[in-house]
Structure 1
Amino acid sequence: MTLDDTDRALLRLLVADAGQPASVLGRQLGLSQPATWRRVKRLQDAGVLAGRRLVLDAAALGFGVTVFLGVKLATKGGVSLEDFERAVGAIPEVQVVTHVLGLYDYRLRVVARDLADFERVLRRRIMTLPGVGTVEANVLLSEERRPGPL
């Protein structure tokens, strides 16, 4: 799909606030509401817009600790990647599971209420997953840049 300048401007507006109605977006782009809606629909149908997401503030909800875990699967036992992914995906504190190439097999983003809560999640949930070998934790101190437009 080829994007023109108006499509790119529309994407920037949607990244800033995906909840804006087509009429508001259209006014900012100099388009009518139906023309704006057709562009949004075309971007959705082409897979450029993969969905709209609500971003929650974890700290405001009582989750004051974010930890990035590097997980290396044990070579013994022959646990499949799918078994690990299915099991880790069932843990609500695990927000992101990324299969990576490098020192670790997976990188996880885990939220917890505090360090004691994180330790509980690590010991009782993550370390008991099928195939877990080595785990390295990095506690998030601050996040300066939020994901933005490509």
Structure 2
Amino acid sequence: MLDDTDRRILRQLLADPVADSAELARRANVAPATLWRRLDRLRARGILRGVEARIDWRALGYAVEVSLRFTLDKTEPRAFDAFTAAARQVPEVIELQSFLGSVDVRLSVIARDMGDWQRIYRDRILPLPHVTDIEPLMLVSTIKDTGELAL
């Protein structure tokens, strides 16, 4: 699937995603033309989907992050679709995931402070449709936050 050259390129890209192509090629020990061909091939195969910006929400004044686990009404056939459509409209929702098991959906919600969180919860979260149970988990600290995997 991946050869050693692909792995070197991906490791260097993960280590410094904003490095220019010449620097990335140098670090991966390949010619710039080889780097571009390899990156194009990795994109075409769906392995490399793009480069994304990671925002530190705390640096922008969002001091509170809450993970909310929802159980939805299983008797309503359109519950999932209606819930996710409504949840996508909440500006403070930064992540929306679905699961198999007793929890159907998880949202990550950010707020500036506890007063802001209470307003968001009362005005935007509680009115979400087809909810049978909500379990909020307040983030205390992030111990590991990486998309890296040994290549």
**TM-score normalized by the length of structure 2:** 0.91
Deviation of 1:14 after TM superposition, in Å, equals 1.4
Distance 1:77 1:29 in 2: 53
Which segment drifts farther, 53-62 or 118-127?
118-127
Counting only pairs closer than 5 Å after superposition, residues 103-142 of structure 1 correspond to structure 2 as: 103-142=102-141
Deviation of 1:127 after TM superposition, in Å, equals 1.2
Distance 2:82 2:139 in 1: 28
- The runs of at least 4 aligned residues of structure 1 exceeding 2 Å deviation read 74-80
Structure 1 residues without counterparts, runs of 5 or longer: none
Tell me if structure 2 keeps the 8 A contact 1:79–1:130: no
**Sequence identity percentage:** 38
Per-residue CA deviation, residues 112-135 of structure 1 (Å, 9 max, x unaligned), is: 111221111111111111212211
Distance 2:145 2:122 in 1: 30
Size of the aligned set, in residue pairs, is: 149
Tell me if structure 1 keeps the 8 A contact 2:95–2:108: yes
Instruction: Specify the alignment match of 2:25 in structure 1.
Output: 26
Note the aligned Cα RMSD (angstroms).
1.4
Instruction: Specify the alignment match of 1:9 in structure 2.
Output: 8
**TM-score normalized by the length of structure 1:** 0.92
Instruction: Specify the alignment match of 2:87 in structure 1.
Output: 88
Structure 2 residues without counterparts, runs of 5 or longer: none
Distance 1:30 1:134 in 2: 53
